[in-house]
Amino acid sequence: MTSVRELLRVDGAVDLAAIDPSATPGTKKSSALKELPIDEALLESWQERLTAEKKRSVLLVLQGMDTSGKDGTVKHVVGAIDPQGCRFVSFKQPTDEEKSHDFLWRIRNALPRPGEVGVFNRSHYEDVLVVRVHGLVPEAVWRARYDQINEFEASLADTALVKVFLHISRDEQARRLIARLDDPTKRWKFNDQDLVERGYWNDYMAAYDDAISNCPGWYVVPANHKWYRNWAIARLLIETIEEMGPQYPLPDLDIASLKKRVLG
In this structure, the chain runs to a length of 264
CA 9, CA 123: separation in Å to the nearest integer?
19
Task: Give Cβ neighbours of residue 219 (< 8 Å, ≥ 6 apart).
Answer: 5, 8, 9, 10, 162, 163, 164, 165, 232, 236
pLDDT digits (tens, 9 = 90+) for 192-217: 888 999 999 999 999 999 999 999 99
The number of folded domains in the chain is 1
CATH number (domain holding residue 20): 3.40.50.300
* C-alpha angle 94-198-61 in degrees, rounded to nearest 5: 50
Question: Is the model's pLDDT at 156 over the cut of 90?
Answer: yes
Number of other residues whose CB lies within 10 A of the CB of residue 133:
17
- Predicted confidence at residue 187, as pLDDT, reads 87
Show the domain range for 201: 4-263
Question: Is the model's pLDDT at 147 over the cut of 90?
Answer: yes
pTM of the complete model: 0.94
How much of the chain exceeds pLDDT 70, in percent? Answer: 100
Helix (H, G, I), strand (E, B) or coil at 135: coil
The interaxial angle of helices 139-154 and 201-214, nearest 10 deg, is 40
* Sheet hosting strand 57-64, strand order edge to edge: 9-10, 218-222, 159-167, 57-64, 117-121, 86-90
Contact in structure between 50 and 85 (CB atoms under 8 Å): yes
Average pLDDT over residues 114-137: 97
